[in-house]
Amino acid sequence: MSKRDLKKYLSELNKEQLEEQLIELYEKFVPVKTYYDFVFNPKEDALLKEAKLKISNEYYPFKKSGRGSKPKMRRSIAQKIIKHFVVLGVDPFVIADLMLYNIEIAQTYSGENTIKQELFYKSMFKSFEQAVEFIISNGIFLEFKSRIHSIYLETKSQKWFVASEFERIISRLE
């Protein structure tokens, strides 16, 4: 069904029928419920706190038993959360904060632990590139400039093999 067909169909319904359909969608589909819950009660601070906790758990897992869990360091977890925030229409400042936090927590972990997988560094560079692009496209670069620069300096300090790629992005910004 095209958008035009949907508009035509909806215009033929009366107010009560429209309300019934929306309530049915709300009850039947979790994404619709999530969307309306956010629209009518946008607790962005709580969402951000929960998201940061999920991301940090990828590097510093909760100890559910007496033993420690092994960090998974999955970039995909952060990417799913960020995409969800974008779909919900969360404030770009909150999304940018989360994007940079994802890289910062990974840097904290890599500063304490030796990481031999090249893919980790490549994926962190990809996250950095996407974050900078998002921040610039939303016109909020000045607010995040110091954090972006700090991330770059940390890649140099930790001698990440992709530090020159980070530098390339930084040099284009200046």
Contacts of residue 101, Cβ cutoff 8 Å, sequence gap at least 6 = 52, 55
Number of C-beta neighbours around residue 62 at 10 A? 9
Do 116 and 151 sit in the same domain of this protein?
A: yes
Neighbours of 115 (CB within 10 A): 16
Residues 116 and 58 in one domain: yes
Q: 112 is in which domain, residue-wise?
A: 44-173
Which tens digit of pLDDT belongs to each residue from 91-136? Answer: 999 999 999 999 999 999 999 999 999 999 999 999 999 999 999 9
Q: Are residues 96 and 150 in the same domain?
A: yes
Q: Which residue has the higher pLDDT, 43 or 155?
A: 155
Q: What is the mean pLDDT of residues 154-174?
A: 94
34-57: pLDDT as tens digits: 888 877 877 888 889 999 999 999
Residue 83 to residues 8, 49, 117, Cα–Cα distance (Å): 31, 16, 25
DSSP 5-19: HHHHHHHTS-HHHHH
Same domain, 54 and 37: no
Would you say the pTM of this structure is higher than 0.85?
no
69, 141: one domain: yes
- Work out the average pLDDT over 16-31: 90
2 and 80 assigned to the same domain = no
Task: Tell whether 14 and 53 lie within a shared domain.
Answer: no
* pLDDT score for 1: 84
Q: Considering its fold, how many domains does the chain have in total?
A: 2
pLDDT bin (cut points 50, 70, 90) of residue 61 is: confident
